[in-house]
Structure 1
Amino acid sequence: MKRRIFAAVAAAALFGVAACGGSDGDSGSGPDAKGELTVWLQVDAQTLWPKAVEQATAEFNKQYPNVKVTVAYQAWADHLTKFDAAAQANTAPDVIEMGTTEMGLYMGANAFTDLTASKSEFANSDSWVKALSDSATYNGKLFGVPYYGGTRSVIYRKDILASVGVTEAPKTWAALMDAVTKLATKHKADPTFSAFFIPGQHQYGAMPFIYDAGGQVAKQGADGKWDATFSSPESVAGLKNWKALMDAGYRGDRTINDATAFSTMVAGKAAMFYDTSGQMKKVFGKDGDAKLKDQIATFRLPSPTKADGFVPAFMGGSDLAIPAKSKNKDWAKAWIKAYTAPAIQQMFVDGGFMSNTTKIVTTDPQMKGYVDTLEATWTLPPAKNWAQVEKNKIVLNMFVDIATNKGTVEAITAAADTAIETTLNAS
């Protein structure tokens, strides 16, 4: 599920007032309490795991039998705009699903309830996937509960790799590059074949190399100001490794994103690509070729900087938050507890995603690359203006410029850092 960021420009001002003026009261926490709890979830829950919603609500109603739970399903494209409007009109929901990269803006604007003191009340909170927990944490305080995750892995066609004698998933960078070279050589007469499909506008294919090399995308100083760090020596080294893989294995338009990776693999024009489990399943799903299911496997991306290591993957997904203006915070916490219980988390795993905890993982061998990657994941910094950085496409344009040789990696990242810092530190 692609996270599309449409952040409201005035959100900080809106929620700064909302947090001060909203009620901290509750409609009642006893078993005889009556009222209505409003929950906003993305439409994915309705299509992928509706029984999870039903089961969680039934469990909640055992504690609060007279509270009606109304679940309204939202679209990623406009849910932030709708939330901003609802908050301004004092009709915000009591529970809201937010993409992990959307949390920063609202946590920084005091839009969500502080759940720090309640953390231990949520199931498996001691083993939450770190990147998911980090996405719901701001200035050391917890403002959301991890819902589910989606990480990245290398997806490959076993038959295409076997055609050059590679019968096992590469476990080292040298083995990966050897496989890429063999495939590129075999198909050198075909300008449409990619040994490794990794175009320029695929930020979650590029950023992991930064973290692998010891870099990061931004850091916050003691004064609260953000420093963009794409141009640090470590980050530059990581991006050069990413570019080396692209130069060796990718043929095609370097300005595009990863949306066509799966269909390129279906057509036999890509041996490998790096993406989510959802994209992997598209290869043999309704938009792919069911006959390929047994030919698809996954492995974690080997590290170019650490012997026998692997590249830490971006962990996307969603969190559940309680808007600061909710008058039903006790009910909201109870519903979130029910919806993130182990049995429900197992449903998310069965649906092809990652749970919020390292204790509940799939045993599907086709998902091995994703499970292995859970050992080391990361998320974007919780800067309140990061959504604006993405909206301005500063990072995407930087990657495309590097991919298309518009200048040195050092010069391109330095220019991007300047633009990013201006945005992150804007009032």
Structure 2
Amino acid sequence: MRLRIAVAAALVLTVTACAPSTSAPTGTVTDGGPKTGALKVWLFDEPNRAPKEAVVQEAITEFTAAHPDTTVDVQYIAVDTRGERFKGAFNDPASAPDVVEFGNTDLPEYAAAGGLADLGSIVSGWSEGADLPADAKASATYQGTLLGVPWFVGVRALYYRTDVFQELGLKVPTTLAELTTTARAVRAKKPDMFGIAVGGKYTFGALPFVWANGGDITSIDSAPSRAGLTAYTGLIAEDNCPPQNCADLTGGKTVELFASGKAAMGIIGNFNRAAVDAGAAKGKYAVVPLPGVTAGSVAPAFAGGNNLGIMKNAQRPALAADFLTLLASKKYQGKMYDAMGNLPTLKSASDEVAAKDPFVKPFVDTINAGTRFVPLDPGWGKIDASAVLPTMIEKVATGKASVDQATTEAAKQIDEALTQ
């Protein structure tokens, strides 16, 4: 019988290795450890670190003022080599930091390695902890244990060209079926433009179609999953986005097509705003939640993002808990949005951001409608690294396999990875 893994909301960041699932899961954060001294923190580096660093430094100043004789030593680690750094810290307690930032898709690997502390009691005792939506907490939970506090989230919604829609007399689609009809109408009247940019290698553009139809990654060969994939791959066609142009498109390339004015619609993230505004589409687009199967519904989006956690080997767990909850607070989530554009995870913070920046509202509405996540299993790393899902989509898009054939093959690979 196929293994069914519960999935829930939550980068998209790639798991670089898989640890044995038999490892001890976690330690529990207690009130132990020195209350003074140097707190060690690992945060991800950024191409433009200065805005993030300024917010973090503000939090450090507030923290050290409230914790005499304490310093905070922040190291900004490279995302590409984070797997090796974390593995080393798991194996050498003396080198382990106290507080860490990690990608939410990194969670299964790190949890299976037993490297993260149980934050259940910390969040339940945190005044703002109840403001974390259930989907967000679920994405940071492994086998019933909360191992992180979601720090920010990123989701995708439907960008569309307002000028093109007005010129052609088109209405914003309210269902996925209407989306298909609208895309084809654009292509028919503007043959030099794709109706909607979709790609064979754009996994997180395709999955909302699967989820909206009632399918899932862990049942990719089921009838609902196949219905969703049929709808998505049907858009990779001459009457919308021809296979010769779109079969191997990634998410990044679909953003480029929309930004450059070559597509009337695109399933694009809040985190792609700057890229779109740097292109020909600037000032000529709007955003709505990607519609679902029925009018008024929203297709579930993949919720990527990063968590803050505490290492099991933390030398100062109590101080770590205080710093983590400060940095993850509504105050600093709001500051991180202003500095970096990171969508807050605390509902009150995201509501405030949406109120002051209308662009954010469709993404917040998408989150509030319910998001989905990849299987919380160490085997996901193998599935991702082997490109099981994009290969499946691309085979259908290029006519190398039918939906039934491609999903049967992918389901076998997924099952093998998740049952090891």
Query: What is the aligned residue count?
Result: 399
2:349 aligned partner, one-letter code: I
Aligned equivalents of 1:267, 1:208: Cα separation in 2: 24
5 Å-filtered alignment, 1:60-75, equals 60-75=63-78
Contact 1:123 1:342 in 2 (8 A): no
Aligned residues with identical type, % of pairs: 26
- Closer, same or farther in 2 for the Cα pair 1:48/1:409, shift >3 Å? farther
Deviation at 1:4, TM superposition (A): 4.2
Which secondary structure state, in structure 2, belongs to the residue aligned with residue 307 of structure 1?
Answer: coil
Deviation at 1:46, TM superposition (A): 3.0
Counterpart in the other structure of 2:263: 270
Counterpart in the other structure of 1:226: none
5 Å-filtered alignment, 1:177-216, equals 177-188=180-191, 190=192, 193-216=193-216
Deviation at 1:47, TM superposition (A): 4.1
Instruction: Find out whether 1:297 has 2:301 as its counterpart.
Output: no
Contact 1:398 1:412 in 2 (8 A): yes
- 1:341-368 deviations in Å (ceiling 9; x for gaps): 1111112333323211222222322233
Q: What are structure 1's unaligned runs of at least 5 residues?
A: 219-228
Aligned equivalents of 1:231, 1:135: Cα separation in 2: 24
Name which of 9, 12, 17 aligns with 1:8.
17
- 1:4-27 deviations in Å (ceiling 9; x for gaps): 425234x338x937968x997843
Deviation at 1:279, TM superposition (A): 1.6
Deviation at 1:282, TM superposition (A): 0.7
- 1:290-345 deviations in Å (ceiling 9; x for gaps): xx432121111111x22321211111101111111112111111111110111111
- 1:145-203 deviations in Å (ceiling 9; x for gaps): 1110001101122122222123x533333543332122110123x3xx31100101011
Aligned equivalents of 2:133, 2:378: Cα separation in 1: 22
Counterpart in the other structure of 1:52: 55
Name which of 366, 380, 389 aligns with 1:373.
366
Deviation at 1:230, TM superposition (A): 0.6
Which secondary structure state, in structure 2, belongs to the residue aligned with residue 382 of structure 1?
Answer: coil
TM-score relative to the length of structure 2: 0.88
Aligned equivalents of 1:409, 1:262: Cα separation in 2: 26
Contact 1:43 1:73 in 2 (8 A): yes
Structure 1 outlier segments of 4+, above 4 Å: 17-20, 22-25
- Closer, same or farther in 2 for the Cα pair 1:88/1:295, shift >3 Å? same
TM-score relative to the length of structure 1: 0.86
Q: Which moved more, 1:382-391 or 1:329-338?
A: 382-391
Contact 1:35 1:67 in 2 (8 A): yes
Which secondary structure state, in structure 2, belongs to the residue aligned with residue 146 of structure 1?
Answer: strand
Contact 1:123 1:340 in 2 (8 A): no
Which secondary structure state, in structure 1, belongs to the residue aligned with residue 118 of structure 2?
Answer: coil
- 1:382-414 deviations in Å (ceiling 9; x for gaps): 112212211121122112112222222122111
For the aligned residues, what is the CA RMSD? Answer: 2.4
Contact 2:198 2:246 in 1 (8 A): no
2:43 aligned partner, one-letter code: L
- Closer, same or farther in 2 for the Cα pair 1:60/1:295, shift >3 Å? same
Instruction: Find out whether 1:245 has 2:253 as its counterpart.
Output: no
Q: What are structure 2's unaligned runs of at least 5 residues?
A: 1-10
Counterpart in the other structure of 1:146: 150
2:14 aligned partner, one-letter code: I
Instruction: Find out whether 1:408 has 2:415 as its counterpart.
Output: no
- Closer, same or farther in 2 for the Cα pair 1:4/1:378, shift >3 Å? closer
